[in-house]
Amino acid sequence: MISPMTCPVCSKPIHDSEEQAAAPFCSERCKKVDFFRWWDGQYAIVENIPADLTDQLQAELGEPDQSVSEDPHDFPPQ
């Protein structure tokens, strides 16, 4: 059985009769909450960069060599 679609913000079940302009959210409010989370940096798309590509980019940009952390939340010191 296919489970009903739920709002990614509040997890409320979404029915076909609900406001389609806010899809995939249950309401305009949840749509705005999600947008604010992106705007505020609470969401991030993290991609691991291969070490050889990192070395190439650093050489092209003339940046000093820094160790690359596998942890996407580990930011280099400022």
User: What are the residue boundaries of the structural domains of the chain, listed by start?
Assistant: 1-63
Q: Which residues pair with 6 in a beta bridge?
A: 13
Name the CATH topology of 1-63: Erythroid Transcription Factor GATA-1; Chain A (3.30.50)
pTM: 0.50
End-to-end CA distance of the chain: 51
8 Å CB contact between 14 and 24: yes
- The CA-atom distances, in angstroms, between 25 and each of 13, 38, 41 are 9, 15, 19
Helix or strand run (H / E) with residue 40: none
Higher pLDDT, 67 or 10: 10
Overall average pLDDT of the 13-30 stretch: 79
User: What does the alpha-carbon distance between residue 70 and residue 21 come to, in Å, rounded to a whole number?
Assistant: 39
21 has pLDDT over 60: yes
